[in-house]
Amino acid sequence: MQAIAKDIYIETHFPGVTLGVIITPHGLIQIDAPPSTEDGRTWRAALLNMGNGIERVLINLDSHADRTLGVRTMECTTIAHEKTAQVYRSRPNMFKAQSDDTGADWELLTGLGNIRWTPPEITFNQQMTIYWGDSPVVLEHHPGPSAGASWVSVPDARVVFVGDAVVPKQPPFLSNADIPVWLELLKLLLSSSYRGYTIISGRNGVVNVDDLHEQIKFLKKVDAKLEKLAGKKQLPAATEGLVSTLLGEFKIPDIHRQQYTHRMRYGLLQYYTRHFHDLTNFSEEDG
């Protein structure tokens, strides 16, 4: 566990997502959960003796399975954005560990079995503030990586958890994204509003200004290439031709190459289909 500021810690050693915990006089504010039940129990045990408060809540930064599969194991009240809650309502009650080759981290885990989803008990729309001590903890809606994506910040400590808004050194998840909106988020993080903040990625722990610029550069390249396909009225299957080129932007260890290839392929196909639906329909009819 890594200390980020007074009473704020992160954990990066579990597969899936970076976990966070904020210690307050009233109790613990947890950020996301590991997808594996076994890892969830280990993480819950590590938190057991932290702080003096008796209450615990868990904030999900979005609806991605990597950070929501393990919520039930944490055995506490869950908070998320209303659009994240809507995703839960569209899911079957039970998660079945059948991979769609989306390149998610949970797909590499074994022994998951069937897991009952745990929808958030508390939701918010634009902003929510938790007053469990002298330093307020602020939840804000910041769509871009997904419609229900949120950030958690502790302004007094100048720390912000941004989920999948910044995913350095690996391809980001594109399937539920809105790239133009996402780019505006990254500009916000580079603005004076977040100057001096420690920025915590939901995948890689602490990130820096260079990571933000690299994320912007990559997303602009993706956007330009997809716009070019759309301009030629290409069908979604044409996104396959972009996978190798875009993966070349990263130095990928051999152990992750297949996973990240799946992630890029799936993300490009889903993004293009969603954002250029009318064009692809026209191409099929034209065709």
One-letter amino acid of 131: Y
Q: How far apart are CA 279 and CA 282, in angstroms?
A: 5
Is residue 145 within 8 A of residue 17, CB to CB? The reply is: no
What does the pLDDT look like over 173-230, one tens digit per residue?
999 999 999 999 999 999 999 999 999 999 989 999 999 999 999 999 999 999 999 9
Is the per-residue pLDDT at 89 higher than 90? Answer: no
Segments making up each domain of the chain, as ranges: 2-225
Q: How confident is the model at residue 282 (pLDDT cuts 50, 70, 90)?
A: very low
Give SS3 for 194: helix
**pLDDT at site 98:** 63
User: How far apart are alpha carbons 155 and 134 in whole angstroms?
Assistant: 11
Q: For 21-58, how does the pLDDT look when each residue is reduced to its tens digit (9 = 90+)?
A: 999 999 999 999 998 888 889 999 889 888 777 889 99
Radius of gyration of the chain (CA): 19
Please state whether beta strands 137-141 and 205-207 pair in parallel, antiparallel, or not at all (unpaired): unpaired
The correct answer on CATH 3.60.15.10 for the domain covering 2-225 is yes
Q: What is the pLDDT of residues 52-86, one digit of tens each?
A: 778 899 999 999 988 988 888 888 999 999 999 99
Q: What percentage of the chain carries pLDDT values higher than 90?
A: 64
Q: At what angle do helices 254-275 and 209-231 cross, to 10 degrees?
A: 50
Q: Do 115 and 94 form a contact (C-beta atoms < 8 A)? A: yes
pTM assigned to the model: 0.90
